[in-house]
Amino acid sequence: MATIVKRGRYEWQVKIRRKGYKSLGKTFESRADAEKWAHMVEIQIARGEWFDRTEGESTLIRDALERYAREITPRKAIKAQRRELFRIKLLQRSSIAHIALARVRGGDVSELISERKKQGANPNTIRLDLALLSHLYTVGRSEWRMEYLTNPVSAVRGARPKLPQGRNRRLQDKEEAKLLKAARKRSVIWESLIIVALETAMRRGEFADLRWEFVNLKTKVAHLPETKTEEARDVPLSPRALDALRALPRRIDGSVFGITDVNISQEFGEIRNEAGCLGLTFHDLRHEATSRLFERGYGIHEVRAITGHKNLATLSRYTHILATDIAKKMAHEKR
Phi, then psi, of 149 in degrees rounded to 5 = -65, 140
Q: Single out the residue of 258, 224, 260, 217 nearest to residue 241, CA to CA.
A: 217
- The distance between the two most distant Cα atoms of the chain, rounded to a whole number of Å, is 96
Phi, then psi, of 74 in degrees rounded to 5 = -60, -15
Query: What distance in Å separates the CA atoms of residue 321 and residue 76, rounded to the nearest whole number?
Result: 35
| CA-based end-to-end distance of the chain | 87
**Chain centroid to CA 236: how far?**
26
Question: Residues with catalytic annotation?
Answer: 203, 228, 283, 286, 309, 318
On the 0-12 / 13-18 / 19+ scale of CB atoms within 10 A, 25 is exposed
**Between the CA atoms of 195, 199, 202 and 208, what dihedral angle is there, to the nearest 10 degrees?**
-30
Query: What distance in Å separates the CA atoms of residue 128 and residue 90, rounded to the nearest whole number?
Result: 12
